[in-house]
Structure 1
């Protein structure tokens, strides 16, 4: 979501968010450091070029490194961030593709390739196609130019706005979650992406969240979907997601990204903004396994502890307050895009 004009008002938004936290009593449990993947304690992005970090993916080849990118049409660049220091250790310039239009997500497949989702639609779902870029994760971390493969993507039921792209860590299949204020669809791509023609993504499930990013657990058994003020955890259930509960998502100025640490024990949540922080939340019950626990602390039962979660059907007073704020930011951003 492009926020260049809206960003000047972030101070007021941040104040509202702080007040909202007090209203809801939302709590975030920080991840511990002992025996965990590097970066599990979170970090602050130091690179002044990264002002709209909109996607996050844990490196497979370089432990402790996290890939991110700026939103919208910043250019064909990816940044490798050291999770220990928050400093950029490599910048990739992509070739072999056109001009990026609205880059919103990044994921890593079981083949070790990076998948970049140029899937946002600032025109509200009117572009007849979007793109996915695929490139090998470099073996050496240094500034370099990497050739990427570009795939054309369309949706079977018409144009969509989306900010979430995930590659399943076992099957390699690519999925996209639609971004809708009242929730959206989970779209499944073909078994293998093709450069020969259009790759049609088909709706296979509903996602009850205004989604800004999503991530599979390393074992592929869990799907975590985040929004601006909360998230939902799903059991993947062989491609038929079953809702399990709400995620305890930290309050952030403009929460746009989420990824699992490689050990599956922590979810890292990122935000747009210069010098933005990536904040950790433990995966409940994961223990020493790779993503075998439930990625959240909230209960999905009525009257239970919902953490910081808010979904498209939130009915609690605290969640309603969050929803009002979220809609306000959505309208603010849409106005800024038209300006």
Structure 2
């Protein structure tokens, strides 16, 4: 059944246009890439390395304690990390990098919407060398002040180090703040501090001034003020993806990287509106005149494909959610 769901999402994605987001693969870091590792079939979280330029950490939505380092230049796995000291994960859904240089992994999924009275966060230093290795991880017990729930988004503020979780509910979820410092010896109670839409992942900008939350069809970027969302948020041009599960900022904060589940899943870069990469300079045409970037105009046929693609994706997502519910009931 799981393979059928992946195939359904992939079929929907095939009819969708990149809508101007796509970049050439294998040329520069932090551009579009395809995850080539056949072991990664359910990439459910994404985090940009702070130690190794161009490397993105991800993991499967399953019970193996494995984290994969993917080179965005090639799409190839350059490191496989095995977490030791954390037991058997249940439903890993998110990954983030903290200001301390540690990787935080959220084993926070609960497809039965509250069947587990606690979930876990795993934490370990980002390795200095890229190779297959075992890493010693700390395990933190997490409970919600208002009862158990399903979640797929874990965010670590890049300045304060505070951990946040966004619960997942199609009618709207909650944003939960953890204690100022996580404790590995007791229970960490997360308290609801704000309301969020239907969320499958989220990430803080590197400067800590923005928070992006994505769902199956869209993404919103919010200002971050006094530990809460500022305003209603601004829509981000998220790409259409078969099973939209992950998002992170590039290390320089100039763009967002969107990922999805599925074999050979694609990670797509989307520029942030009004933000220029620090190293980006305008190209010049002969004679010194600035050269405008070339844009291929979309004709009527392309617009039609986008509309059809959106409808197919919408139908596919409804089927995916419906089938998952049936599986839970069964």
Question: Is the structural similarity TM-score above 0.5?
Answer: yes
Q: Do structure 1's residue 216 and structure 2's residue 207 form an aligned pair?
A: no
Matches within 5 A, 1:1-339: 5-16=1-12, 27-30=19-22, 39-73=29-63, 75-208=64-197, 210-242=198-230, 243-288=232-277, 326-339=317-330
Given that residues 177 and 190 in structure 2 are in contact (C-alpha distance below 8 angstroms), is that contact kept between their aligned partners in structure 1? yes
Distance 1:55 1:13 in 2: 17
1:7 match: secondary structure? helix
Cα deviation 1:299-330 (Å, max 9, x = unaligned): xxxxxxxxxxxxxxxxxxx9999766534321
The answer as to whether partners of 1:31 and 1:282 remain within 8 angstroms in 2 is: no
Gaps of 5+ in 2: 280-308
Distance 2:313 2:171 in 1: 14
Contact 2:199 / 2:215 at 8 angstroms: preserved in 1?
yes
Q: Considering only aligned residues, what root-mean-square deviation do their CA atoms show, in Å?
A: 2.4
- Give distance in 2, aligned partners of 1:46 and 1:219: 31
- The CA deviation at 1:238 is 2.4
Q: In structure 2, how many angstroms separate the alpha carbons of the residues matched to 1:133 and 1:147?
A: 10
In structure 1, runs of 5+ residues without a counterpart are: 291-317
Contact kept in structure 1, 2:12 and 2:242, CA below 8 Å? no
In the TM superposition, residue 10 of structure 1 has moved relative to its aligned partner by: 4.2
Indicate conservation of the 8 Å contact 2:6/2:261, yes or no. Answer: no
Query: Which structure has the greater CA radius of gyration?
Result: 2
Task: Measure, in 1, the Cα distance between the counterparts of 2:38 and 2:314.
Answer: 31
Q: Which residue of 2 aligns with 1:312?
A: none
Contact 2:202 2:246 in 1 (8 A): yes
Q: Is the 8 A contact 2:21 2:239 kept in 1?
A: no
Residue 304 of structure 2 is matched in structure 1 by: none
Change in 2 beyond 3 A, CA 1:58/1:197: same
Taking the aligned partners of 1:159 and 1:100, their CA distance within structure 2 comes to 17
| Local SS of the residue matching 2:176 | strand
SS of match in other structure, 2:226? helix
Q: 1:9 to 1:112 in 2, by over 3 A?
A: closer
What is the CA-CA distance between 1:27 and the residue it aligns to?
A: 3.8
* 1:266-313 deviation line (CA, Å, top 9, x unaligned): 1011111111111110011111369xxxxxxxxxxxxxxxxxxxxxxx
Q: TM-score, normalised by structure 2?
A: 0.84
Deviations 1:21-56 (A, max 9, x none): 69xxx94534699xx9x5322111111111111000
Residues 240 and 313 in structure 2, CA contact (< 8 A), matched pair in contact too? no
8 Å Cα contact 2:242/2:317 also seen in 1? no
Cα distance between partner residues in 2 of 1:190 and 1:80 = 29
